């Protein structure tokens, strides 16, 4: 490539670098949480619990080791499929509706398994959507005496 060709390529590379290093365009929160939920459920379906674990919320991971997490979700149900249907985002929380197909361990079920919709809870932490393994309970209001 000659010097004249570089005259056009270098400014284009500089713009590309700046656009990647700068703020990313605003991502629709609904699209973002649905994408995270879909990835999370694919790991669950494949039995990749060590890959699903980082999707859990930071407070959850602080209190639950990967080993305990595996024991909590590794048995009882065999997930056959999951499809993210919709999401409702309210501020930094979201409820994602996921259609799952599953088979309870040891139960007689149809070949394609059972199917139902679940409400999956997600929370935004430092700009990243994280799964809430259990629905968080609100603390009762304090009573001053």
Q: What is the pLDDT of residues 92-115, one digit of tens each?
A: 999 999 999 999 888 888 888 999
Rounded average pLDDT over 38-60: 95
Query: What does CATH list as the number for 27-131?
Result: 3.10.450.50
Whether 27 shows a pLDDT value over 60: the answer reads yes
Q: CA distances (Å), 138 to each of 58, 96, 116, 135, 142, in order? A: 18, 20, 27, 9, 12
Which pLDDT score is estimated for 145?
37
Which pLDDT score is estimated for 25?
53
Domain boundaries, the chain: 27-131
Whether 17 shows a pLDDT value over 50: the answer reads no
Model confidence band, residue 134 (pLDDT cutoffs 50, 70, 90): low
Model confidence band, residue 143 (pLDDT cutoffs 50, 70, 90): very low
**Closest listed residue to residue 47, CA positions, set 78, 3, 15:** 78
Task: Work out whether strand 77-90 and strand 93-104 pair parallel, antiparallel, or are unpaired.
Answer: antiparallel
């Amino acid at each position: 490539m000659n010097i004249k060709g570089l005259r056009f390529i270098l400014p284009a590379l500089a713009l590309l670098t700046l656009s990647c290093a700068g703020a990313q365009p605003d991502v629709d929160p609904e699209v973002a949480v649905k994408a995270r939920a879909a990835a999370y459920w694919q790991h669950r379906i494949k039995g990749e619990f060590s890959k699903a674990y980082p999707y859990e919320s930071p407070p959850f991971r602080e209190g639950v080791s990967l080993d305990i997490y595996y024991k909590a979700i590794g048995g009882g149900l065999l997930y056959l499929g999951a499809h993210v249907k919709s999401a409702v985002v309210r501020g930094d929380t979201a409820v994602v509706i996921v259609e799952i197909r599953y088979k309870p361990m040891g139960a007689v079920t149809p070949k394609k398994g059972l199917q139902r919709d679940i409400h999956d809870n997600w929370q935004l932490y430092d700009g990243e959507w994280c799964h809430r393994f259990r629905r968080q309970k609100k603390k009762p209001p304090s009573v001053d005496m």
